Structure 1
Amino acid sequence: MTQGDTRAQGETQAKQQTPGRVWAHVGQAFTDPGYDVLVLGAGRMGTACALYLRQLAPHLKLLLLDEGGLPNEEGATILAPGVWSALDLPPQRQPEARWVRAQLETAFGDVSFQARPLLHLGDEGEEDAAALLALWPELEGVADPAELPRARLPRARVDTEAATFRPGAVALAAAQQAIRLGADLMLNARARLVPGGACVERLTVTNTHEVVTHETHTLRAGLVVVAMGANGPHAAEHDLGVHTTHARAYRQLPRLNVPTSGATPTLRARGLTLRPQNGGFTLVPPIHHRDPHGYVPGGGHLTGVPTGLRRETLEDLVAAMPALPALGTEALESGRSISDIPGAWLALPGGGADGLPLHEQVTGGVYLLLGGPQADTLGLSVAYDLAATLAGVTGRPWDKA
């Protein structure tokens, strides 16, 4: 049976399924009906994997869990717009990326998908390439191209096919579609891996805002997808005693209050990405290294004054100031404490900042699903690939005919 036949059969069967159950709070009684698949984590990759599994293997009874709400309140899912760009992907991954772009355009409803060029200033000699900014009037408040010779424009690259979208909206839409196709969803539930399944603690909040465990269930399932983002590798290592090569890092997302419009491109300089959002820019610093075990994010100092920015973030911003003078003005929100600047833990597949999204079997029926820095561009295809692998489907929609 071909991949297309299998998917068509799965979609026909799924239409006959009744919608799944949703447990959003502990006041709802829960009895384990017996699941074939547990998907731990309701970010964009976990929800997408759940959706694709319902499409490809509707005979498998599936439960999607998340420690928070939907979309999950922590992590990079809801902090900033996603940026789709295949500019730096290896050639063999380009078909996947284009398939993901088509999915973002049509498969999830309104996710604020907007074609938006990405202007990349080379890793070396950014100042030489900054003259190209004169072509973008919307960025004149960020950089000063007049200082630089126009003769060196080839150092800049433009991805005219780049786009922005809302990852949180993708996660929400994917989960809703999966539920309509029969997947169950449990929110406010913390999962701990155990052999053959997961121990799930249903959480509640007291009137003093203390999170407590209301009830605990041990759920057995032949397949477990760990889509817990940066916490996934640690869960596999700590709970199951397996070793993974993956890591995580903490990334802050400061804001630059320089006016932007719908025509403002996404900008990359010295590894720093400026994503147009809500009339300004969200700043996404590069990832230099994994954070050590037990690391607790802390602030830094700017001209002797404590700020909410960690030292690495400050160094990145200072290094980019020659090309982007606006970073040295009051337009930059530096914060008074660490809580003033949004931040998120980010998974590093393969242990490094350049790792591409992946899935792998860590033991038995337990599979790890990781996004990382390129989750915006390849996350959905990797989630589909895992779902197809678990469903026993050969061929992928982005394969060449």
Structure 2
Amino acid sequence: MSGQVWAHVGQPFGGSSSSPAHYDLLIVGAGRMGAALARFLREEAPHLSLLLAEEGGLPNEEGATLLAPGVWHARVPPEQGARAEETRTLLEGRLNACGLLELRPDSAGGFRPITDLWTPEVEGLIDPAELPFARLDRRAATYSAGSLALDCAQAASRAGADLMLNVRAELCGSGETGMAQVRLHRLSVTNLHEIVVAQTVQVTAGRLVVAAGALGPHLAEVGLGAVTKHNMAYRQTPRLEVPSTPTSPLLQSGGLLLRPRDGGYTVVPPIPHPDPWGYVPTGGRLVGVPTGLRRETLAALLEVMDGLPALATGALVLGRSLADIPGCWVALPQGGWPLYERLDERHWLLLGGEHADLTGLAVARELARELAE
């Protein structure tokens, strides 16, 4: 039996301060991690009632899931190997095999001359004089993280989970009954395109998981007083208008990744450091001209332009302002890899972050099994 879906405030939802609605499990955030957790919970514990609450739509257009690189590869630390392989198995049928070509200026670590691995697709992208050595991961593949989140949420709903969209969660700790309490502020849009709270409903839950991406730790701190060591950063993914095909290999130099997408490339720069809370991203300047690329993104591109000369051409979309370049806040879990942690008896925090592509599904399933016990 399918669950109930509330997409707008015109659909009544029971739950007042005097008589709150109750669920065994409540997940705040229906990005890739939250949606996957909901799907696995319906598989592991179908007898438990479940509500999945999301501030936006599916997938959220402002969230990191939609702009996630969607890349799986085997270049993970040994301690993450089992999770990576499990995630690949869970992604079966979604992967577009293309291979990952790692580039470097020397042969350390078993890298071979790039001439041994040269393909027509990389012509004009790589300067072999600057990056003469390479290593190929043939198992590497791409997929859509946004489609994955949508499918997981829909699968959870078909299996009986309730889903509420366009709702902002406010955590209220545990009440006298010992249950997790949350206020769900249902959002609407005025004629002036302002987002307003149209209704507030009360919900209690036996257990609550915060899976709100980069804002998750802040949400837990404000609502529960739970101070964590996790961080966040704003990452941009500019476009490189150089022709690619679905089988063009991924290219990686240093921490920068070129992902073939929609006939061109998405440039995925490394995240150099966490951004302080309250930081407002702004564009930078290139040879004195304002661009939409923030300074850290420009620095990452300048570092590899000699080896990837296409980045130094007009094919790179610079934009005039930050709004011209796709970007989003990304969670930075302590330790760098997807994880979950128990905040108190009733609340958990689930984070994916920049490596959610590689091990996120396995971590979400681990938490589902723990909650189902």
Q: TM-score range by the shorter chain?
A: over 0.9
Aligned residues: 360
Unmatched segments (≥5 aa) in structure 1 = 1-17, 393-401
- Please say if 1:234 is aligned against 2:218: yes
Match of 1:330? 314
For the Cα contact (< 8 Å) 1:85–1:163, is it kept in 2? yes
1:102 aligned onto 2:89: yes
Query: Is 1:137 the counterpart of 2:125 in the alignment?
Result: no
Cα separation, partners in 2 of 1:180 and 1:93, compared to 1, 3 Å: same
In the alignment, the residues of structure 2 paired with residue 99 and residue 386 of structure 1 have an alpha-carbon distance, to the nearest angstrom, of 14
Helix, strand or coil at the partner of 1:312:
helix
Deviation at 1:92, TM superposition (A): 3.3
Cα distance change on mapping 1:208 and 1:97 into 2, 3 Å: same
Deviations 1:201-222 (A, max 9, x none): 0000011100000000121111
Choose from 87, 91, 96 the match for 1:114. Answer: 96
CA distances 1:311-355 after superposition (whole Å, capped 9, x unpaired): 0100110111010000000000000001000101000011xxx61
Following TM superposition, by how much is the alpha carbon of 1:134 offset from its aligned partner in structure 2, in angstroms? Answer: 6.2
For residues 129 and 313 of structure 1, do their structure 2 counterparts lie closer, same or farther at Cα, with a shift above 3 Å needed? farther
SS of the residue corresponding to residue 213 of structure 2 reads coil
Q: Which amino acid aligns with 1:382?
A: V
Deviation, structure 1 residue 197: 2.3
* Unaligned stretches of 5+ residues in structure 2: 16-20, 174-179
Q: Per-residue deviation at 1:251?
A: 0.3
SS at match of 2:126: coil
Counterparts of 1:198-277 in structure 2, within 5 Å, are 198-277=182-261
The one-character-per-residue Cα deviations of 1:212-261 (angstroms, maximum 9, x if unpaired) are: 00000121111001000000011111221111010000000101000001
The answer (yes or no) to whether the contact 1:266–1:274 under 8 Å persists in 2 is yes
Residue identity over aligned pairs, in percent, reads 54
| Structure 1 counterpart SS, 2:66 | coil
Shift of the 73–134 alpha-carbon distance from structure 1 to 2, 3 Å rule, reads: same
Q: 1:96 to 1:149 in 2, by over 3 A?
A: closer
Q: Which whole-Å CA distance do the structure 2 matches of 1:92 and 1:123 have between them?
A: 28
- The 1:80–1:56 alpha-carbon spacing in structure 2 relative to 1, beyond 3 Å, is closer
Q: CA deviation at 1:141?
A: 2.1
Identify the range of structure 1 (117-126 vs 33-42) with the bigger mean alpha-carbon deviation: 117-126
Deviates more, 1:72-81 or 1:233-242: 72-81
Is the Cα contact below 8 Å between 2:97 and 2:139 reproduced in 1?
Answer: yes
- Relative to structure 1, the CA distance from residue 389 to residue 73 in structure 2 (aligned partners, 3 Å threshold; closer, same or farther) is same
Cα deviation for residue 163 of structure 1 reads: 0.7
Write the distance in 1 (CA, Å) between the matches of 2:206 and 2:130.
Answer: 61
Asked whether 1:58 is paired with 2:42, we answer: no
Structure-1 residue corresponding to 2:33: 45
SS in 2 for 1:105: coil
The corresponding residue for 1:34 is 22
8 Å CA contact 2:7–2:164 kept in 1: the answer is: yes
1:274-353 paired onto structure 2 within 5 Å: 274-350=258-334
Structure 1 pair 29/192, CA: closer, same or farther in 2 (3 Å)?
A: same
Superposed displacement of residue 60, structure 1: 1.1
When residues 105 and 378 of structure 1 are mapped into structure 2, their CA distance, relative to the original with a 3 A threshold, is same
Aligned pair 1:371/2:359, yes or no?
Answer: no
- Provide the alpha-carbon RMSD of the alignment: 1.9
8 Å contact 1:121–1:130 — kept in the other structure? no
Larger helix percent: 1
Distance 2:46 2:201 in 1: 24
Question: What is aligned with 2:136?
Answer: 158
Q: Distance in 2 between matches of 1:132 and 1:191?
A: 54
